[in-house]
């Protein structure tokens, strides 16, 4: 399928998009975008981006995979930092339990949002591949 045919499908289904050179940028909503790049040798690349100010990557523009890694590492480092601070200030075990509950809750939040974005992205990629194979 050519770039023009994909644009016609996007218009038909009223999806928000814009194009620049050989790339079509499709907005999925919920601060997520899909980039479809058409190359000279009839190859097509489908990538994703999370726009800034979303629940996973915060103010940064990252791919979904990088955002999940960033979120997991940052939650763990925050937990470690709070644990060190509470140890230095000699708080009791109940504070350690509280910090650990916050860690588990934050990871649960990150897993829920990651799953939401991943399902949305993969289902749209499947639709795009069907359109491109037509």
| pLDDT tens per residue across span 7-31 | 999 999 999 999 998 899 999 988 8
| C-beta of residue 71 within 8 angstroms of C-beta of residue 56 | yes
Mean pLDDT of the chain: 89
pLDDT given at position 1:
60
Indicate the pTM of the whole model: 0.82
Parallel, antiparallel, or unpaired for β 32-38 and 17-20?
Answer: unpaired
State the average pLDDT over residues 52-70: 87
| pLDDT tens per residue across span 88-97 | 887 777 777 8
Cα distance from N-terminal residue to C-terminal residue, the chain: 6
């Amino acid at each position: 399928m050519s770039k023009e045919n994909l644009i016609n499908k996007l218009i038909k289904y009223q999806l928000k998009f814009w194009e620049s050179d050989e790339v079509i940028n499709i907005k999925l909503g919920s601060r997520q975008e899909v980039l479809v790049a058409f190359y000279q040798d009839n190859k097509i690349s489908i990538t994703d981006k999370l726009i800034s100010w979303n629940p996973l990557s915060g103010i940064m523009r990252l791919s979904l995979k990088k955002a999940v890694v960033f979120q997991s590492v940052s939650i763990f480092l925050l937990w470690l930092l709070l644990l060190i601070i509470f140890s230095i200030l000699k708080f009791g075990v109940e504070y350690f339990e509280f910090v650990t509950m916050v860690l588990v809750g934050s990871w649960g939040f990150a897993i829920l949002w990651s799953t939401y974005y991943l399902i949305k992205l993969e289902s749209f990629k499947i639709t795009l591949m069907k359109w491109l194979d037509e």
